[in-house]
Amino acid sequence: MVRTVEGMDARATIRQTYLVEHYRPGLTVEALRQCAARIRVAADEVGREGKPVRYVRFTIVPADESLLCLLEAATEGLVHETYARGHPLRPDLARNSGSGRGP
């Protein structure tokens, strides 16, 4: 369910939380950090357009050569739009964590 508070803009929309996984064999921790930074910039751009998406945080798991990013967005489509702008590769998995939160 997506809810808004009357009088607030789209960025105040209640969002779902999405965990996005990237398995990238051979990438260094620094390269994974750079990927996370590009995704953050893209989320900021999408948010400035009034679309309800927010980059929350990332976790790197060096032993698994993976990057986990947590985003809040009104729809999964906004998560994919953010990634299309900020990351040259598609995420391996975008999963709704099931919790909705406000900004």
Query: What average pLDDT does the segment 23-33 reach?
Result: 89
pTM for the structure as a whole:
0.74
Per-domain residue ranges of the chain: 13-96
Structure tokens at 1: 């369910």
At 25, the pLDDT band (50, 70, 90 cuts) reads: confident
What share of the chain has pLDDT > 70, as a percent? 71
Q: Which residues of 38-62 are buried (b: 16+ CB within 10 A; e: fewer)?
A: ebbebbeebbeeebbbbbeebebee
C-alpha torsion 38→40→41→47, nearest 10:
140
Tell whether the model's pLDDT for residue 8 goes beyond 70. no
CATH code 3.30.70.3090 for 13-96 = yes
